[in-house]
Each structure stands twice: as structure tokens, then as C-alpha cells.
Amino acid sequence: MGFFEKIKAGLTRTKENIGHSFDQLFAGELNDDFYDELEETLILGDMGVDTTLKAVEELRSRVKAEKIRDMEGARACLRRVLVEMLQVGEPGLQLTTTPSVALFIGVNGVGKTTTIGKLAAKMKGDGKRVLMAAADTFRAAAADQLEIWSQRSGVDIVRQYEGADPAAVVFDALTAAKARKMDVVLIDTAGRLHNKQNLMNELNKISRVVDRELPGCDRETLLVLDATTGQNGLIQAKQFKEAAGITGIVLTKLDGSAKGGIVIAIAQELQVPVKYIGVGEGIDDLMPFEAEAFVEALI
């Protein structure tokens, strides 16, 4: 399946939840009742109140300015509005230096380790030399889980013992990456809900190691979120953004969510691009995010 087909399949639960409402909405008339019902439908889809109000206000304004009279025109206009709301920042991964670094952060249970494994497989398939760093030394078996993914995806891993200093693991990984001429290092970090200060301290320490060992390298800090948590995921994202300079979002388990509108809320409220989405269990079910295909599949 291509991106659009996978997205459409991945958004099945969201479509079942709000898709019928959209079809009913756009079968009606373009009046004040329509805009009120559209607000309700978008909020039900977990787009959030602020993002929904902004989108509906923009739609009203454009419908008036562009003298749109028919519902198909209004639907196409809404799609354009939502696509623009999703287009924040740079959508692709900026990892051009050798080596580059991608740091993965997020709470336990969101699919962080799985995401790293799937991305490693994708990058290796693109001809890149990839190294994993098991810097989540806090959770029992985290490194074991990452090692299973390293075997599945056929890439190298650097790990230490449980309870080791995460920054020391990163140092070892970067040393190995330089020696082996790796293209990219994917770093797994502890997913416990730190208090903000502990989180900042740990990430700053890792960041200093990267600065010292690979000065000027391309670096992505990717926050992994579980789509099924909806607005709670957005609250998590705000906390992590305050504690770390996030360059992108990876949204997992979108196929299990009935509230795919959270993608738009996250991009708009954080002004951070969604770079990848997970739409299934398979190793190839982590996909680069495409705003137009996503919105077309949703509405």
C-alpha cells in the first residue's frame, strides 16, 4: 500500500468516529448551523478547542472572501486550511552529516523503542549505516528490547549494564560511530516521567557529550507520542518541549486511535512538525508524514 492507502486504513477508527458526521455535515447547507456542527465534530475528533476555533474561523473568512457557495467548495477549503495548519517547520529529517544524531524522548509505553527499530530498518533500506545507542538504562530490559530490534533491522547496537550513566552509553556509541564511519546514531532515552529538572539535566548531559564528540553534526530531537492518549499526549508534548528543544514529533498507534485530529492540534499548538506516524504493527508501518494525504484521508 502507498502512503494514502495506509493513512486511510490507519484512520479507519477516526473515520468511524467522525467521518460519518463530516459526510452529513457537507450534505447540508452552508449556514451558521453548519459552522456550529463543524466545531463540535472537530472537537470530537480531538483537534482541541483552540485549534478548532482557529480552523473554523479561518474557514468562515475564506468562504466569504472566495465567495464559496457550495458544500464541495467548502470541504475543499477546509482541507486547505487544515493542511496549512499542519505545515509547520521542516517535515523531513535533517540528518546529512556523517555521523548525524537522532535523540528519541517520550514517556514509557508510547512505542519509542519500536519506533527506533522501524526507523533503523527504513534508514538501512535507504542505504545508510545505522547505529543504535541503548541510553535508556533506567528501565529493566529496555536495552534487551532495543537489541531485539537491532537484530530485526540488521543494524549495530551499543549498550551497557542496567543503571549505567546514559551519557556514558552515548559517548561509547559516538566513539563507535566515528570509528565505524556510521551515517546516523539513533539514541533511545529513559521514558520515565521525570520531573522537569531531572529531564533537563539528563538531556543536557547527553547533549554536551554530542557537542563535544560531534561538533556541528546534524541533530534531531524527536518526541514520540501515543495517538490514543489524545489531549493527554498534547499535555505531555508541552512539558517535553519546555524541557528539551524538540525538532519533530513521531505519532504512534494512529491506527488504534478514534481521534486522529490530535495530529493537527499537536502541530498547531506546539508549532513543531509531525515527521513520522505509525499506522500498524509491521516493520514498514512507520511512515514519513504527508499533510495533504493525511487531511484528504481524514475529511
- Which residues carry a binding-site annotation for GTP? 106-113, 188-192, 252-255
Rounded distance, CA 22 to CA 281, Å?
A: 28
Pairing of strands 219-226, 248-252: parallel
Angle at CA 129, nearest 5°, toward 127 and 131? 140
| End-to-end C-alpha distance for the chain, whole angstroms | 20
Q: Mark the binding-site residues, compressed into ranges.
A: 106-113, 188-192, 252-255
Separation between Cα atoms, residue 251 and residue 106, nearest integer Å = 11
The tally of CA atoms less than 13 A away on the side-chain side of residue 50 is 8
- Pairwise CA distance, residues 287 & 50, whole Å: 28
Q: What share of the chain is helix, strand, coil (3-state, %, to 5)?
A: 55, 15, 30
C-alpha cell at 38: 463543524
CA distance 118 to 96: 19
- CA distances (Å), 116 to each of 123, 133, 218, in order? 10, 10, 17
